[in-house]
Structure 1
């Protein structure tokens, strides 16, 4: 018997991920709820973490890379006095300290964590070393050696210090930044160790917390009758790419892989629109528009 293909649904669905779920688990649950034929996510969240997990349905999967390249915002709590092998509360304690930082010490250190910096990822990460995930090596006790990588931190602010053992921070960062590693390195820099005990993502590129649905609410909305009103347009992930309006015939040419010509346009990637519908991502060079990714909407 041929496997049922599922519904053709195109757009972005923003989930407020609960703790204890992997990103893959959320994708599987939402796929069952919506019966979507194709679905993927834009940026993994650790099981410990909560917050927005953008899901791409149908043609939106073609824009996932653009969403993942966008800036992200996290709010997190560090527990001082313990370093853990996973750099979060789920790992084993590997070092302790009785020292506790004050607000002045933290404020003095934070500027060194802003801007373009180098960061060693956590050993419990999905990065591959000779074809194996670092976390698989770590679980076998093989202590993977990970090289420092460049990352971008646009904002790193101390928000609250509820007690001597904890501090709450917010960070705006670029692709590839590990918040667990920031907590680890800040604790080491302060001479007191530290690890993440709470982590919430509040922004991924153009996607915000207020656009997110809990799994429970989503289940209600898609139950009876199913509702696609929860979907954001495919082009939401492309909002920082210049738009190019084209005519119907021009749109048809681009969809069939043919080039068109325009005047008075700068070179570079453009988001091609026709009557409010996304047609393609196209490369413009000397007025020649070449489709590089076509959308079937």
Structure 2
């Protein structure tokens, strides 16, 4: 009798197929501007993007809470070296404050800790907004990622411990009313690093005597990136060319600082971590942050002191 390949010898078990090989990780460098949906953590969003590109390395520029939607810039490969430049950039939000109750998290995720029958009119809110613009002192929410003696504030708060956070200066460039009803008001805010929108809602409610918390939050801008140019999780999961189209050059994150073009010899020195003297009539003398390119390729970020470009981060592109 002839035994075919599909027939196992008598008394033996057919072998189960092994697991499919994982896609090989590759060096991918650039930025993906993601429109994160409500309900997804920032960490999960990074893993989705990393998987879509089979990238070896990825990170995000500023956590966005699961209950918030909107702009989450995600860096791949060498772009992770430019994350601080994005995080230090200005941010913009659209958020809705629900009046009449305060929660322990200052948003809808927490438990109501106080209520009020008072409701503010639009004129009263508008009159108060100048107190919430410019450089102000703000106490961060108790449920925040700020560390107290090495522990995250939200971990302490969840364990029932009393959390005391000190006020800190933050910059709010603009705070505008978009729409207003008796029970809720939608705002647009433009602010600097470290500003908590939940704290704005909490403090507005207290100042108006009606209490309030964030019912809806959407981030619309981070540094040089805007949500109008963002891609979606669905587009990345579907593939079909959407992934490559969504990948932006590493230097996109550096568009808000000066560019210095250097010749090949200077580029080689910078790549070795050596400073170079800038020559030419228009060469800058001092600058806190610049980026250097040569032949259209990003070489380094650094600072300029006494006409000398000092590299802080070198790129392997």
TM-score normalized with structure 2 length: 0.89
Equivalent residues in 2 for 1:260-279 (5 A)?
260-263=276-279, 264-268=283-287, 269-279=289-299
Give 1:267 shift: 1.2
Aligned residues: 292
Q: Provide Cα deviations, 1:217-270, integer angstroms capped at 9, x if missing partner.
A: 11123xx56842311111111112111111122211211222222123221232
Give 1:211 shift: 1.8
Task: Report SS of the residue matched to 1:202.
Answer: strand
Work out whether residues 40 and 55 of structure 1, in 8 Å CA contact, stay in contact via their aligned partners in 2.
yes
Alpha-carbon separation, structure 2, partners of 1:276 and 1:95: 58
| Match of residue 263 from structure 2 | 247
Give 1:76 shift: 0.4
Q: Provide Cα deviations, 1:32-55, integer angstroms capped at 9, x if missing partner.
A: 221110000000011100000000
Give 1:292 shift: 1.4
| Match of residue 214 from structure 1 | 232
| Higher mean displacement: 132-141 or 71-80 | 132-141
| Match of residue 30 from structure 2 | 11
Give 1:4 shift: 8.3
Give 1:105 shift: 0.3
Alpha-carbon separation, structure 2, partners of 1:289 and 1:91: 50
Alpha-carbon separation, structure 2, partners of 1:181 and 1:148: 11
Work out whether residues 5 and 37 of structure 1, in 8 Å CA contact, stay in contact via their aligned partners in 2.
no
Q: Provide Cα deviations, 1:152-187, integer angstroms capped at 9, x if missing partner.
A: 0000001101x3101000000000000001000000
Alpha-carbon separation, structure 2, partners of 1:99 and 1:168: 18
2:309 to 285, 289, 294: 289
Alpha-carbon separation, structure 1, partners of 2:92 and 2:235: 24
Alpha-carbon separation, structure 1, partners of 2:264 and 2:203: 54
Alpha-carbon separation, structure 2, partners of 1:150 and 1:225: 44
Work out whether residues 101 and 211 of structure 2, in 8 Å CA contact, stay in contact via their aligned partners in 1.
yes
Q: Which is greater in Rg?
A: 2
Structure 1 unaligned regions, length at least 5: none
Task: Report SS of the residue matched to 1:279.
Answer: strand
Work out whether residues 172 and 189 of structure 2, in 8 Å CA contact, stay in contact via their aligned partners in 1.
yes
| Match of residue 60 from structure 2 | 41
Structure 2 residue 194 is the aligned partner of structure 1 residue 176: yes
Structure 1 residues 122 and 260: alpha-carbon distance in aligned structure 2, compared to 1, 3 A threshold:
same
Structure 1 residues 225 and 187: alpha-carbon distance in aligned structure 2, compared to 1, 3 A threshold:
closer
2:214 to 196, 199, 223: 196
Alpha-carbon separation, structure 2, partners of 1:171 and 1:266: 36
Task: Report SS of the residue matched to 2:245.
Answer: coil
Structure 2 residue 100 is the aligned partner of structure 1 residue 84: no
TM-score normalized with structure 1 length: 0.95
Give 1:106 shift: 0.2
Give 1:288 shift: 2.1
| Match of residue 127 from structure 1 | 146
Give 1:127 shift: 0.8
| Match of residue 25 from structure 1 | 44
